Amino acid sequence: MKASDYRSFADIWEARATIRTRPRRLVEDDQRLIYPLSRQPLVLSATFQRECPHLRDFALVQSLYKFINDVVIFETEIVDRTARRIAKDRFAVRFPFACRYDAMTVVVDEDYHALVAMDFLQQTIALTGIEPIELPGEIELSRAIPAALAQVPEDLRDALELICVGVAENTLTDDVAAFARDDSVKPSVKGLMADHLLDEGRHSSFWARLTRIYWQAAPQAEREAIAQVLPVFLSQYLTSDIQQLFDLGLIAALPVDETVRQALRAEVCGLAYPISQQHPLLGNILRFFRSSSMLESPCVQRALHDYLPGETP
């Protein structure tokens, strides 16, 4: 795909962007869950079920707060930064005006998503009376992107940043989709996720197309240098360290005996997914590398060999 072949989604954005078309989502005072059980394995653990099932809603509310906090960090500190520099033509990889216009719509969307998430957090606090425990000040990408950028020459850092954000946006889209399909949660939560998904589907395609434009025009030496660093990025992005620290903080906040806490800590420490072909996010990540054409390159195939089940570089 050449830059000259790019077609803007401006008309679709004008007609469908959630900032233009969606009402405010108001959290309901009903008996449905505020966060899916499947997304917080702690509450499904044997110890939790046996010793403190009455604390389920507290744990799920705190998990929602972390999810919202993660969204705000991701949208405003990660995606916004890259999209804004592309939109303002301050990016080392140059793109035509149509791409830069669409990048500015991404900025608007992402900041609006953060605003809506913050509104929902305040509504939840008001409804439940549950204040957030200490929330993480960073997400996995906060570590993964700088770690990867530090491994390439300065003139390749914007290109690598583009790819990292593209991976993350395509991963988030499937993550939000699974959330939006869960019928156990409140309609407002599902609606919030469905609204987010409507925009993120457009964004994931945008980042894949921009990555494809860059990758197909990139010299082989640049491709080789970037490919070598992809495992560094993935090893940081796919860790569960931050989630585990949050879960341990959540356990510390539970009004239970210390023996129960110790048992819960032991179970939480066994919940992490190995960083391997079985990691649940890997399928989405590999789809991005295929849709952006990166996986057609032998250097990328070699770099991702350990993540490619049944494929030979």
Confidence bin at 313 (pLDDT 50/70/90): very low
Domain boundaries, the chain: 38-307
Q: Return the pLDDT at 279.
A: 64
Q: Return the pLDDT at 303.
A: 95
Place of tokens 């439940």: 128
167 by DSSP, 3-state: which? helix
Using a 10 angstrom Cβ sphere, with 0-12 exposed, 13-18 middle and 19 or more buried, the burial of residue 255 is exposed
Confidence bin at 277 (pLDDT 50/70/90): low
Give which of 51, 39, 40, 44 is closest to 261, Cα–Cα: 51
Query: Between 94 and 269, whose confidence is greater?
Result: 94
**Whole-Å CA distances, 270 to 51, 57, 163, 200, 261:** 18, 22, 31, 32, 14
C-beta pairs of 40-48 under 8 Å, 24+ apart in sequence:
41/271, 42/247, 42/250, 42/251, 42/264, 42/267, 42/268, 42/271, 45/264, 45/267, 45/268, 46/267, 47/260, 47/263, 47/264, 47/267, 48/264, 48/267
- Fold of the domain spanning 38-307: Ribonucleotide Reductase, subunit A (1.10.620)
| pLDDT one-digit tens code per residue, 163-205 | 999 999 988 776 677 777 788 899 999 888 888 888 988 999 9
d(CA 62, CA 66): 6
